[in-house]
Amino acid sequence: MRNLIQDGVTVDLVAPADVQPGDLVRIGDLVGCAVTGATSGNTVPVRLEGVFGNLPTTGTAPAAGDTVYYDVSEDALTVSDGTGANPRAGICVAPGRYRLG
């Protein structure tokens, strides 16, 4: 296909803050996990799809099937959409495991 740039599973984004591999990264409504570390303002590859564990959560623990959102103020996943303020991040597939995307 002549106009495909990349598959979109992992994309390069400008780190909004210093990040370590596996940290949640949010740019607007995009939420993913940093593949490598980067300092604020530098490019970091971010995985936008897949099932991840060991992600920070806040509030009620998500259960399998729950939609999870990114809580900006806590830098963590939550089951609350914050009255529309928290962007959708994915779905809990099992305790402590989340499908992003």
Residues linked to residue 53 through DSSP beta bridges, in sequence order: 97
Q: How confident is the model at residue 2 (pLDDT cuts 50, 70, 90)?
A: confident
**In this predicted structure, what is the pLDDT of residue 53?**
96
Total domains in the fold of the chain: 1
Q: Where does the chain have alpha helices with state H? A: none
The verdict on residue 5 lying in a domain is no
Could you tell me the residue range of the domain that residue 43 belongs to? 10-100
In a domain? residue 81: yes
What local confidence, expressed as pLDDT, does residue 89 receive?
97
**What is the residue whose two structure tokens read 């300092």?**
39
**61 belongs to a structural domain:** yes
Average pLDDT, the chain: 95
pLDDT digits (tens, 9 = 90+) for 62-72: 999 999 999 98
Distance between CA atoms of 92 and 77, rounded to whole angstroms? 10
Q: What is the pLDDT of residues 14-60, one digit of tens each?
A: 999 999 999 999 999 999 999 999 999 999 999 999 999 999 999 99
